[in-house]
Chain A
Amino acid sequence: QKEVEQDPGPLSVPEGAIVSLNCTYSNSAFQYFMWYRQYSRKGPELLMYTYSSGNKEDGRFTAQVDKSSKYISLFIRDSQPSDSATYLCAMSIITAGNKLTFGGGTRVLVKP
């Protein structure tokens, strides 16, 4: 079993819909949780990162962390075709050199 599980998709939604992404993890030691967006043949772009359980909002993006369930989510409101990309969750432990453990990524397609 992988440490971080993420549905590979593809997830296809119409423009303007809410995109809902999630990851589950097995290691309760993870402290920081991040979401990256990666376009084809490009490096990942950091969208958000959170530390504690709860919600964090930034523009159209909302990240949720539920440490008790070992479950994190990313919601994208008012989705645009330009949001079509692969979304990667990543987690880290400070005392482990802050190395990131990635989920496999979810491919999202927003149709105009």
Chain B
Amino acid sequence: GAVVSQHPSRVICKSGTSVKIECRSLDFQATTMFWYRQFPKQSLMLMATSNEGSKATYEQGVEKDKFLINHASLTLSTLTVTSAHPEDSSFYICSAQPDRNVEQYFGPGTRLTVT
């Protein structure tokens, strides 16, 4: 149980285009999902907290107009990187928190490369 999927697992896009990443909790409902970014050999950096049916809460320094988050249902959250630039290239990971639980379960991650 507690499986989280992400799609796509890897994406290459050209500078200036937008990319959407999906995060799904497959066998549980998640009112809250989180989006992280991870650079090579570094720990996870929280970007935003996504709550179903409401606006996401972004961490300090994260551009909300660049990283659009939508939590449309209790099992799906999406992250759209708009007008991507090479510096946005990174490993993006989502996590989902089952309702009434404190632990978070992570997806397998999406590697974004902007050329």
**B108 CB contacts on chain A under 8 angstroms:** 42-43
A92 at the binding interface (Cβ < 8 Å): yes
Tell which of A42, A46, A94 touches B104, judged by Cβ atoms closer than 8 Å.
A46
Taking a contact as CB atoms under 8 Å apart, the answer to whether A49 and B93 are in contact is no
Taking a contact as CB atoms under 8 Å apart, the answer to whether B104 and A41 are in contact is no
Tell which of B44, B57, B95, B102 touches A88, judged by Cβ atoms closer than 8 Å.
B44
Which has the most chain B C-beta neighbours within 10 Å: A36, A44, A102? A44
> Bound state CA distance, A43 and B110, in angstroms?
9
Q: How far apart are B52's CB and chain A's nearest CB, in angstroms? A: 14
**B44 CB contacts on chain A under 8 angstroms:** 44, 88, 100, 102
Taking a contact as CB atoms under 8 Å apart, the answer to whether B106 and A45 are in contact is yes
Tally of A interface residues using CB under 8 Å: 21
CB neighbors of A among B13-48 (8 A): 32, 34, 42-44, 46
Tally of B interface residues using CB under 8 Å: 24
Q: How far apart are A28's CB and chain B's nearest CB, in angstroms? A: 18
A61 at the binding interface (Cβ < 8 Å): no
> Bound state CA distance, A98 and B114, in angstroms?
32
Given contacts A88-B44, A94-B102, contact A99 B49 (CB under 8 A): yes
Known: A42-B109, A99-B49. 4 other contacts (CB 8 A): A32-B102, A41-B109, A98-B97, A100-B44
Give me the interface of B with A, judged by CB distance under 8 Å. Answer: 2, 4, 6, 32, 34, 42-44, 46, 49, 57, 91, 93, 95, 97, 102-109, 111
